[in-house]
């Protein structure tokens, strides 16, 4: 079995747990309120803006024998740069205050997920970062396009409010194939274990973001 297939098999229960989160389930059916959708986008902004810095941090810690992986990260960086601005545009298209979101602090669950990713890179095995990539990109393919259509129909929002969800649903199909190829080149058992462990943790932490959005159902206060 390829390592990518092992990664999916070894994180299956955590993936199902994430997909069973009530807000995700309701979103797929188009049964969420506007403040919940804006809350989701607000927290997406707060973690997506760290995607490129996290990739840079990971690349900086790779050894000479992992240069091929650093090159792959450079490709990811080029494609991911500026995506947090798409999210702010979506928030504005929902009629919410995008500048207030930019100035706000993330919810605690979002802050913890981002902090875990930085800590994994700095204090643990930097390849653990790819556990986060596995969770976020795989989840977006499963949910983004279908949820966007259902939410748009129920909330009667313009197309301009869904650039992040719709672009990532389509974009990440190609990303996952690219990611699969990278994972299948990772042969060191310690690196593989670090990626699996990180993915399991991120599934839990990412689920907590949705749970907290549902409990608060509002755009966070400006700092």
Per residue in 170-214, pLDDT (tens digit) is 555 567 788 899 999 999 999 999 999 999 999 999 999 999 999
Predicted local distance difference test score (pLDDT) of residue 223: 43
Q: How far apart are CA 104 and CA 110, in angstroms?
A: 12
Residue 57 lies in a domain: yes
| Closest by CA position to 44, among listed 72, 81, 78, 85 | 85
Confidence grade of residue 222 (pLDDT, cut at 50, 70, 90)? very low
Domain for residue 222, yes or no? no
Whole-model pTM: value is 0.92
Give the range of the structural domain holding residue 192, as residue numbers without chain letter.
3-216
**Would 223 be classed as within a structural domain?**
no
Contact of 113 with 202, CB cutoff 8 Å: yes
Q: How far is CA 166 from CA 4, 99, 140, 195, in A?
A: 25, 22, 9, 27
User: What's the CA gap between 156 and 89, in Å, rounded?
Assistant: 17
Predicted confidence at residue 50, as pLDDT, reads: 97
Indicate if the pLDDT at residue 141 is higher than 80: no
Is 186 a domain residue?
yes
Residue 40 belongs to a domain: yes
CATH of the domain at 112: 1.20.910.10
Residue 162 in any domain: the answer is: yes
When computed from its CA atoms, the radius of gyration of the chain, rounded to whole angstroms, is 17
Q: State how far the Cα of 124 lies from the Cα of 90, in Å rounded to an integer.
A: 35
Query: Tens of pLDDT along 64-94?
Result: 999 999 999 998 898 888 889 999 999 999 9
User: Do the domain assignments include residue 32?
Assistant: yes
User: Using CA atoms, how far apart are residues 76 and 91, in angstroms rounded to an integer?
Assistant: 25
Total domains, the chain? 1
Q: Is residue 221 part of a domain?
A: no
């Amino acid at each position: 079995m390829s390592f990518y297939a092992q990664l999916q098999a070894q994180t299956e229960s955590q993936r199902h747990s994430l997909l069973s989160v009530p807000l995700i389930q309701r979103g797929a059916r188009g049964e969420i309120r506007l403040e919940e959708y804006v809350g989701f986008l607000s927290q997406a902004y707060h973690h997506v803006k760290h995607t490129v810095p996290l990739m840079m941090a990971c690349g900086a810690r790779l050894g000479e024998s992992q240069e091929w992986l650093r090159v792959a990260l450079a490709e990811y960086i080029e494609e991911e740069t500026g995506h947090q601005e798409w999210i702010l545009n979506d928030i504005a298209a929902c009629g919410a205050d995008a500048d207030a979101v930019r100035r706000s602090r993330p919810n605690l669950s979002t802050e913890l997920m981002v902090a875990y990713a930085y800590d994994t890179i700095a204090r643990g095995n930097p390849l653990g970062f790819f556990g986060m990539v596995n969770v976020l990109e795989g989840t977006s393919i499963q949910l983004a396009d279908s949820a966007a259509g259902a939410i748009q129909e129920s909330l009667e929002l313009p197309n301009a409010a869904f650039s992040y969800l719709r672009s990532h649903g389509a974009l990440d199909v190609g990303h996952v194939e690219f990611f699969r190829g990278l994972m299948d080149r990772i042969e060191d058992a310690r690196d593989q274990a670090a990626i699996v462990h990180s993915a399991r943790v991120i599934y839990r932490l990412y689920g907590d973001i949705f749970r907290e959005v549902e409990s608060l159902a509002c755009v966070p206060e400006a700092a």
